[in-house]
Homo-oligomer: A and B are copies of this chain.
């Protein structure tokens, strides 16, 4: 198997670097961070700029991600079959549960949100499509870990990052949680990534029964939980939506 094309891999690394914390970087910073010669980094940045994937601030000379990524990202969503088939079911789930609904797929070492239905109320909400969630501490992530061996491989060994006092950080605990998820067919995450937030997620499969994603509801602990546990009626709603989406993707009757 031949290796990757070096300049493409380097370009991808530059774009990922620009997507990271600092977000605007100079030529020399990019070259140093990726251990490239300045002429090399410049050649790649110049071409990425010509193609719209990178922009350069004319005043500071700093580089940042470009608009073509947004456009192609939207095109990715347009053609995403799972998302297309889930749209209506996700709306229904938001209405039935009164909570925010997320649709996520495994991407690199986390869960990529590909669809987001706002909670049907008047509160201000921020669209999460395109953002990543951790695998070990979210309902979506736990579902993918339970059913997708690739996800488990991506997670690696612990200890994992602790976001709240309730986050599971040991691999053994995360694996036990995955076994529980498989046993009962759904996952929950109560204040494990964000304080005050609880979620319930379930698996989506394609017509070959391969895991292709997960759907979840997410909301305030006070609404999602009762007597210390997530509400069974919400669990039922999430699982029902997951089954409906799976059927639309061609998975047979369960």
Contact = CB atoms under 8 A, between A and B. Distances in A.
B53 A12 contact: yes
B75 A19 contact: yes
A70 B130 contact: yes
A73 B44 CA distance: 19
Contact of A19 (B12, B23, B72, B91): B72
* Residue from the set A7, A12, A23, A46 with the largest chain B CB neighbour count within 10 Å: A12
Interface residues of A, number: 53
Interface in A34-59: 43-44, 46-48, 50-53, 59
Nearest to A4: B47
Contacts of A43: 2, 5
Nearest to A55: B76
B112 A48 contact: no
B65 A70 contact: no
A81 to B, nearest CB: 9
Name A's interface SS: helix
A11 interface: yes
Given A71-B19, A72-B19, A130-B71, A5 B5 contact: no
B79 A23 contact: yes
Interface in A188-216: 208
A47 B112 CA distance: 21
A112 B70 contact: yes
Contact of A8 (B24, B48, B66, B107): B48
A251 interface: no
A109 B74 CA distance: 17
Contacts of A48: 8
Nearest to A128: B74
Contacts of A50: 4, 9
A129 B5 CA distance: 32
* Residue from the set A67, A112, A132 with the largest chain B CB neighbour count within 10 Å: A67
B112 A71 contact: yes
B71 A107 contact: yes
B53 A23 contact: no
Which 8 A/B pairs are nearest by Cβ-Cβ distance? A73-B73, A74-B130, A19-B75, A12-B51, A4-B47, A23-B79, A65-B76, A70-B73
16 contacts: A4-B47, A5-B44, A7-B8, A24-B79, A59-B208, A64-B76, A65-B72, A67-B76, A67-B114, A69-B73, A69-B75, A70-B77, A72-B73, A77-B130, A91-B124, A127-B127
